[in-house]
């Protein structure tokens, strides 16, 4: 992985942690997730006339990804209902790199060497260090594990879809525009709850959507430049950013566990960067 691609993926990781922190801190996470979906689709709909149309086969991947993302929002909401940011986020993202690497090996015909696998496993090990805390709500852990499987599913679908599209930019824009279905589904029955939110909170939700869209768009673009499994693994360094946000701004602990996990994950990232 080149330094430029590594930088793109790390920026995507930071932005991803930021929008998840916004969701966790929100007083109404369901409506906030609806606003995030809206923040994805509104800019994308405006951009549709100016981007190339993906190949026909890509729309099957876009449709599948839209359905999978609906499930992602659903289980992410449940996860944050029962668990802290610094617990749920690492679990949800932790198992995904290995699942994605295995899935990419089966469906995208990607074969990784033992060095790359050692880096992926190191990242996952570091992430799981964050997850091994006592007195955690099992409902939150269970929902986070389901979220992890869903993350792996859409990562593989979009990783293959963007390559088949013939136009990475067009694929990303059409993918986000399709999220109007998710936004309408979430917001249609919650109009009164939306109106009860402060304007600042509404704007934070929409801003979170723009940040989220940029983060995912950067990650998808990186998958056209490097193997899907490696990009997905490096992107999971977002758990370090999320852990720091949880510790510094949300008062979550213990801090020493986060530092240990950060060192393990950083080691995995360096291995992948050298691969």
pLDDT surpasses 70 at 82: yes
Q: Over the stretch 93-106, which tens digit does the pLDDT of each residue have?
A: 777 777 777 777 77
Three-state DSSP class for residue 69: helix
Retrieve residue 90's tokens.
């690492």
Cα radius of gyration rounded to whole Å, the chain: 18
pLDDT, one tens digit per residue, over 200-230 is: 888 888 888 888 888 888 888 888 888 877 7
Structure tokens at 114: 């033992």
Domain count, the chain: 1
* Full residue range of the structural domain in which residue 161 is found: 3-274
pTM: 0.80
Higher pLDDT: 54 or 237? It is 54
Q: What span, in angstroms and rounded, lies between the C-alpha atoms of 49 and 144? A: 37
User: Looking at residue 65, what is its pLDDT?
Assistant: 94
**Rounded mean pLDDT, 266-272:** 76
pLDDT at 3 over 80: yes
Positive or negative torsion for Cα 40, 46, 52, 54: positive
Q: Are 169 and 52 in contact (CB under 8 A)?
A: yes
The whole-angstrom distance between residue 261's C-alpha and the CA centroid of its chain comes to 19
* Closest residue by Cα to residue 189 from 42, 31, 39, 76: 31
Per DSSP, the three-state class of 177 is helix
Dihedral-angle region of residue 52 (phi above 0 means left; psi in -120 to 50 means alpha; beta otherwise): beta
**Of 14-18, 102-106, 208-212, 244-248, which gets the smallest average pLDDT?**
102-106
Would you place residue 135 in the very low, low, confident or very high pLDDT band (cuts 50, 70, 90)? low
Tell me the pLDDT band of 232, cut-offs 50, 70 and 90: confident
Question: Rounded mean pLDDT of 20-35?
Answer: 87
Q: Lowest mean pLDDT of 10-14, 54-58, 267-271, name the range.
A: 267-271
């Amino acid at each position: 992985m080149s330094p430029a691609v590594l930088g793109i993926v790390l920026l995507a990781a930071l932005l991803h942690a930021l929008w998840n922190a916004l969701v966790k801190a929100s007083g109404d996470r369901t409506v906030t997730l609806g606003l995030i979906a809206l923040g994805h689709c509104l800019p994308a709909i405006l951009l549709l006339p100016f981007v190339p149309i993906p190949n026909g086969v890509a729309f099957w991947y876009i449709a599948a990804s839209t359905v999978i993302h609906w499930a992602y929002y659903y289980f992410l909401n449940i996860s944050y209902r029962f668990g802290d940011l610094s617990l749920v986020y690492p679990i949800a993202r932790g198992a995904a790199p290995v699942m994605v690497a295995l899935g990419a090996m089966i469906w995208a015909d990607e074969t990784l060497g033992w060095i790359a696998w050692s880096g992926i496993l190191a990242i996952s090990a570091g992430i799981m260090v964050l997850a091994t805390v006592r007195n955690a709500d099992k409902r939150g852990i269970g929902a986070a594990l389901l979220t992890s499987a869903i993350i792996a599913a859409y990562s593989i679908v979009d990783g293959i879809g963007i390559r088949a599209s013939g136009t990475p930019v067009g694929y990303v824009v059409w993918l986000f525009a399709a999220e109007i279905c998710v936004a309408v589904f979430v917001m249609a029955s919650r109009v009164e709850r939306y109106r009860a939110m402060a304007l600042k909170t509404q704007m934070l939700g929409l801003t979170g959507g723009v940040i989220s869209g940029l983060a995912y768009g950067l990650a998808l673009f990186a998958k056209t430049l490097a193997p899907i499994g490696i990009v997905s693994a490096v992107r999971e360094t977002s758990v370090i950013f999320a852990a720091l946000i949880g510790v510094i701004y949300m008062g979550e602990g213990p801090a020493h566990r986060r530092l240990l996990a950060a060192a393990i994950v950083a080691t995995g990232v360096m291995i992948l960067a050298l691969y």
